[in-house]
Amino acid sequence: MTPLRLIETRPGSFSLLLDAGTTQVDGLVEELGHEPNGYFWEGAARFLVSTEAQGLDGRFSYDPEGGMFCAYGQDRAALEELGALLAAVAADGDRMRKLVTSAEAAGFDFDD
């Protein structure tokens, strides 16, 4: 799940974290006109959930900041699945390019 990490913040509560600016695709994200901050990654997560993993919808919440993406909740399996989706995009320039292109074509706003 690198560069993401899943931590248990208290018994039965989990946070999926990504430090902004630490992925292999940061330069590409900027080239595509976005800032690879926590808000961008929330947008990427929301778009992935809506297009590739609808079963995850509503199973966790988001709380990003400029320097970090965060999703949290009590459903560890859902956060693990989201982490796998995001890790794949964070490590693959072609996949990131397709995600941004598809999102923009659909009128999606990353809010970064």
pLDDT in tens, 57-102: 999 999 999 999 999 999 999 999 999 999 999 999 999 999 999 9
> 10 Å Cβ neighbour count for 1?
17
* Overall fold of domain 5-99: Gyrase A; domain 2 (3.30.1360)
Sign of CA dihedral 29, 30, 35, 38: positive
Partnered with residue 11 across adjacent β-strands are none
Domain segments of the chain as ranges: 5-99
Question: Is the bond leading into 11 cis (omega within 30 degrees of zero)?
Answer: no
**Does residue 112 surpass a pLDDT of 90?**
no
**Does residue 9 surpass a pLDDT of 90?**
yes
**Does residue 111 surpass a pLDDT of 90?**
no
